Amino acid sequence: MKKKAIVVFSGGQDSTTCLFWALKKFDEVELVTFNYGQRHSQEILVAERIAEDLKLTHRVLDVELLNQLTKTSLTREIDIEQEDGELPNTFVPGRNLLFLSLAGIIAQQKGFTELVTGVSQTDFSGYPDCREDFIKSMQMTLNLAMETSLTIHTPLMHIDKEQTWELADQLGVFEYVRDNTLTCYNGIIGKGCGECPSCKLRQNGLEKYEQRRGE
């Protein structure tokens, strides 16, 4: 039986690496991107461009209700901050809960059995909805709710940014991911602004991997 996957896709380093991982692993891959009122629409345009490059079926779902319910630096024009011992204000409560629920509905309707998402509990943020325990519970919930046999794959769960660059290299897409993805909170493709937390994390991992790679 052919294995078919839905990739939760933002056009960033992590989800794009996971996309190429899925293309190697599964027989058919489709993408879903969510418009949740994020602070820059460039993210959606980048996701659409990559999907077009790879000639993949791609849908963008409007979930801007999330913007109305949450006040964070990813959904409002407010400064990115993190207090000691607190979650950063880039955390969007319920985001992965909602995204995986909707991706699961799409998979159930299309007869797909695999979901892929780029969450990682080794990342700097400590977001609770990026933890393995949450993903396992979400997989169980989706299957109980819809009488399905979905598997949620998280290729990056236990690796850091340096290892994520290494995975992209192993998949033969290092340069593509480096040059065409959008990780920057300020909406700058590729290298990014160099100042936001996401850019610093990405660049630190890239420099470490390039040193090990001998560049």
In the chain, where are the structural domains located? 4-213
Averaged pLDDT for residues 163-174 = 98
Give, to the nearest 10 degrees, the angle between helix 13-25 and helix 42-54: 20
**Integer CA distances (angstroms), 68 to 63, 77, 93, 117, 131, in order:** 10, 14, 12, 24, 25
The predicted-structure confidence for 50-99, as pLDDT tens digits, reads as follows: 999 999 999 999 988 877 766 665 555 665 555 555 666 567 678 899 99
Asked if the model's pLDDT at residue 9 lies above 70, the reply is: yes
Give, to the nearest 10 degrees, the angle between helix 161-170 and helix 197-213: 60
Asked if the model's pLDDT at residue 124 lies above 80, the reply is: no
| Per-residue confidence band for 141, with pLDDT thresholds at 50, 70 and 90 | very high
Asked if the model's pLDDT at residue 107 lies above 70, the reply is: yes
- The mean pLDDT of the chain is 89
Asked if the model's pLDDT at residue 116 lies above 80, the reply is: yes
Which residues make beta-bridge pairs with 61?
34
CATH 3.10.20.880 fits 4-213, yes or no: no
Which residues make beta-bridge pairs with 152?
115
Q: Torsion angle, CA of 11/17/23/25, rounded to 10 degrees?
A: -140
Three-state SS for 34? Answer: strand
Strands (DSSP E) contained in the chain are: 4-8, 28-35, 58-62, 114-116, 151-153
Token digits for 144? 């109980």
Which is more confident, 198 or 10? 10
